[in-house]
Homo-oligomer: A and B are copies of this chain.
Amino acid sequence: MPIVNITMIEGRTEEQKRQLVKKVTDAIVETCEAPPEAVTITILDIPKTNVANAGILRSDAGRK
């Protein structure tokens, strides 16, 4: 512990994920007194057809 699940729209590069997990782990270590090896992060990439806000699919957002 801590376990961090990050759900985001698919499309980030492996390099972005590399930086993301590094910085998120640092943030947790700095603020929660957890050693780095205690922090597990999973990333769930989901398509725009599987995310909605205000009742509208992200894949439909911006369409008239």
List A residues at the B interface (Cβ < 8 Å): 1-9, 12, 14, 16-28, 30-34, 36-37, 39-46, 49-60
The count of identical subunits is 6
- Report yes or no: A14 in contact with B57, Cβ–Cβ below 8 A: yes
What's the Cα separation between A15 and B58 when bound, in Å?
13
Pairs of residues from A and B, 5 with the lowest C-beta to C-beta distance, nearest first = A23-B27, A25-B55, A21-B52, A2-B8, A43-B50
Query: In this complex, what residue of B is CB-closest to A58?
Result: B1
- The secondary-structure label for the interface of chain A is mixed
- Report yes or no: B32 in contact with A8, Cβ–Cβ below 8 A: yes
- Report yes or no: B16 in contact with A7, Cβ–Cβ below 8 A: no
What's the Cα separation between A2 and B20 when bound, in Å?
12
